Amino acid sequence: MHPQLLNNISNYIKLTPEEKSLFETFWTEKKLEKGDYLLRNGEVCRTDNFVIYGTLKAFYINPIKGKEEILYFAIDDWWATDMESFQKQSPSIYNIQAIEDTKLLQIHFNSFQEMLNRIPKLERFFRIILENYLGSLQRRIILNNVYNAEQRYFDFLETYPKIAEKVPQYLIASYLGVSPEFISRIRKK
């Protein structure tokens, strides 16, 4: 298995060599081509997905205007999973799609449960992941209320420089809840 996920985990918890080998048995690699869907609105998110390389977008289809609204991007070392749908095994309200060729590590829901039973230390890791994500969502809600479009755009560039590099401007606009034209005008300055 690609070592990237274990490297990532080792930032938070220490696993024994035995635990590491056991851990690896639960995961499989998967490649997505640009445009491939990992999850569609209405489906249950059956796997937890860790990005080795590539970029994905999670988006919600606005039922009123038919436009897509970006919920988040996932790049190397991030997760591309509807955690709510995965944990409850209930239908997802959004879509996840590769916006460039992407490689993932995947684990199915049942394997995930078994893995946690066999390696209870991992509970801690996954709680930390959830908490980090939660913190970033809270921060985002605050920024959305406090800052105007320009400030949010520059904050995005600072906070996620790698994403800004990879992802087209009009998707960043959608993530920020701003029209692409307005982002263009901000940049003109």
Partner DNA sequence: TAGGTTTATTGAACTAGATCAATTTTTTTG
Partner DNA sequence: CAAAAAAATTGATCTAGTTCAATAAACCTA
From the list 73, 47, 75, the residue with the least C-alpha distance to 58 is 73
From the list 152, 38, 10, the residue with the least C-alpha distance to 99 is 38
How far is the C-alpha of 90 from the C-alpha of 93, rounded, in Å?
A: 9
User: Considering CB distances under 5 to 8 angstroms, the limit depending on partner class, which of DNA, a second copy, none binds residue 189?
Assistant: none
Q: Which residues bind a second copy (CB under 8 A)?
A: 60, 62-64, 69, 71, 83-84, 87-88, 93-94, 120, 123, 126-128, 130-135, 137-142, 144-146, 174, 177
How far is the C-alpha of 189 from the C-alpha of 78, rounded, in Å?
A: 32
User: Considering CB distances under 5 to 8 angstroms, the limit depending on partner class, which of DNA, a second copy, none binds residue 170?
Assistant: DNA
53 counts as binding DNA under rule CB under 7 A: no
Q: By CB under 7 A, which span of 8-16, 81-89, 108-116, 163-171 interacts with DNA?
A: 163-171
How far is the C-alpha of 181 from the C-alpha of 18, rounded, in Å?
A: 54
Please list, in sequence order, all residues whose beta carbon lies within 8 angstroms of the beta carbon of residue 172, skipping any fewer than 6 positions away. Answer: 70, 153, 156, 163, 164, 183
At its nearest, how many Å lie between DNA and the CB of residue 135?
Answer: 24
At its nearest, how many Å lie between a second copy and the CB of residue 103?
Answer: 25
Q: Of 41, 149, 164, 166, which lies in the binding site for DNA, with binding defined by CB under 7 A?
A: 149
Q: By CB under 7 A, which span of 2-10, 68-76, 105-113, 145-153 interacts with DNA?
A: 145-153
Which secondary-structure segment (H or E) carries 160?
none
How far is the C-alpha of 73 from the C-alpha of 38, rounded, in Å?
A: 13
Q: Of 66, 148, 158, 165, which lies in the binding site for DNA, with binding defined by CB under 7 A?
A: 148
How far is the C-alpha of 127 from the C-alpha of 122, rounded, in Å?
A: 8
Q: Of 65, 66, 141, 165, which lies in the binding site for DNA, with binding defined by CB under 7 A?
A: 65
Cβ nearer to a second copy, comparing 51 with 173? 173
Binding residues for DNA, rule: CB under 7 A, are 34, 65, 148-150, 168-170, 177-185, 187-188
